[in-house]
């Protein structure tokens, strides 16, 4: 099985004996309430999905990632994993060695062992990570509204975040790796999505299935934009598709607890690294992976992989052109396989599909399976 990024799968969950000691000691620690994005990061640090990270980045690693897309030890890492605090929190915790991290209900999640507290340049981070300083970019907006300091240090996970949805599909990297071994899959391709799967996605996945043992459909269920289709509706659409149109012994569904950054090319590298930790050997990278608006070129998320050696990433990206239904071919295709001009190609934008659904119109079967369209239409009316 493929090795985790950095060579070791991190586990920050403490054992029962350590937990009791830390709970007693935690009564003296200052408390920091963290939001859903930071909770997603914390969960993925703790369960090894973000190996080799064992905490939120210190200043040395943060600066290395921002400038070179590598950690300070030269391991590839493209997205800063940071915990921001505001000035008032800085005053409260600046002399603390241990800090309790809790959710908005004051439920203790972890204890952070403080390594450093440092100021950072929000504009520089926006330019480097998102390639824009435009506040309309959701990732940039998040950085601009967060605190002025970053808090770096390792974490000791006391309690898992409380989830009430998709329980049976919330598999840690240890669990997905065990399941792949049980199924005797040696090559596994990951498919990252925050959208319902339409016919073009299905085409890419089934092309990939021709060359690997198994497919992990790994939808993101953490924070997304307010106008993205909800995770609950998306999961219903995935399940009906898998039931009717995919070979059951070749496909697996598990949710990805990450928050979206919408960082385009850099996030594509991040998604690849994390899926390697889950045990995947390949990842599908299509058009505008992790993009938003017009901030990135259509295939920038593919080009960025050429900046790293195969040995550095150690996961194989599968690059696909924009797929479509060709009315003359009578099937799904891409510019690599279809000889006809664009007048025969059926493309539907997300905006156009949403407008149709709101009007009670089902998108054509050439774009999405009718069962999926029905689920989406019902979901849009809620």
**Structure tokens of 212?**
């690997």
Measured CA to CA, the distance from residue 119 to residue 59 in angstroms comes to: 9
3-state secondary structure of 380: helix
**Structure tokens of 232?**
């609950």
Give me the helices (H) in the chain, please.
Answer: 16-25, 36-46, 59-68, 87-93, 122-125, 138-145, 173-182, 199-209, 231-245, 265-277, 300-303, 310-313, 350-358, 370-381
Q: Is 29 within 8 Å of 98 (Cβ atoms)?
A: yes
Give φ, ψ of 277 to 5 degrees: -65, -30
Q: How does DSSP assign 83-136, residue by residue?
A: -EE-HHHHHHHTT-SEEEEE-TT--EEEEEEEEEEEE--HHHHIIIIIS---TT
Q: Is 11 within 8 Å of 49 (Cβ atoms)?
A: no
3-state secondary structure 312-365: HHCCEEEECCCCEEECCCCEEECCCCCCCCHHHEECCCHHHHHHHHHCCCCCCC
Active site residues: 194-195
Measured CA to CA, the distance from residue 181 to residue 167 in angstroms comes to: 22
Measured CA to CA, the distance from residue 81 to residue 74 in angstroms comes to: 16
**Cα dihedral angle (159, 164, 169, 175), rounded to 10 degrees?**
10
Measured CA to CA, the distance from residue 297 to residue 303 in angstroms comes to: 10
For residue 52, say if its preceding peptide bond is cis, omega within 30 degrees of 0: yes
């Amino acid at each position: 099985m493929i090795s985790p990024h950095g060579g070791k799968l991190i586990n920050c969950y403490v054992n029962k004996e350590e937990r009791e000691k830390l709970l007693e000691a935690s009564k003296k620690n200052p408390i920091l309430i963290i939001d859903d994005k930071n909770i997603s990061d914390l969960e993925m640090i703790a369960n090894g999905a973000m190996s080799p990270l064992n905490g939120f980045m210190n200043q040395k690693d943060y600066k290395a990632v921002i400038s070179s897309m590598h950690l300070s030890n030269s391991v590839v890492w493209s997205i800063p994993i940071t915990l921001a605090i505001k000035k008032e929190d800085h005053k409260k915790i600046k002399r603390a060695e241990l800090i309790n991290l809790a959710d908005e209900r004051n439920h203790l999640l972890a204890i952070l062992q403080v390594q450093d507290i440092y100021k950072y340049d929000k504009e520089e981070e926006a330019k480097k990570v998102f390639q824009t300083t435009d506040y309309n970019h959701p990732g940039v907006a998040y950085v601009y509204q967060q605190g002025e300091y970053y808090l770096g240090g390792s974490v000791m996970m006391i309690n898992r975040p409380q989830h009430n949805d998709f329980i049976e599909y919330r598999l840690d990297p240890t669990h997905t790796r065990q399941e792949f071994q049980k199924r005797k899959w040696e090559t596994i391709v990951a498919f990252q999505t925050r959208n319902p799967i339409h016919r073009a996605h299905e085409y890419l996945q089934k092309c990939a299935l021709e060359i690997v043992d198994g497919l992990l459909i790994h939808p993101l269920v953490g924070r997304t934009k307010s106008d993205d289709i909800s995770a609950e509706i998306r999961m219903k659409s995935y399940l009906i598709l898998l039931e009717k149109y995919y070979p059951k012994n070749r496909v697996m569904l598990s949710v990805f607890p990450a928050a979206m950054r919408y960082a385009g090319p850099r996030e594509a590298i991040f998604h690849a690294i994390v899926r390697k930790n889950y045990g995947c050997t390949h990842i599908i990278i299509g058009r505008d992976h992790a993009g938003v608006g017009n901030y990135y070129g259509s295939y920038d998320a593919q080009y960025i992989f050429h900046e790293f050696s195969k040995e550095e990433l150690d996961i194989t990206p599968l690059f696909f052109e924009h797929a479509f239904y060709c009315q003359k071919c009578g099937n799904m295709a891409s510019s690599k396989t279809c000889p006809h001009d664009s007048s025969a190609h059926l493309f539907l934008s997300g905006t156009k599909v949403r407008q149709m659904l709101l009007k009670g119109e089902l998108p054509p079967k050439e774009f999405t399976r009718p069962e999926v369209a029905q689920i989406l239409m019902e979901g849009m009316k809620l």
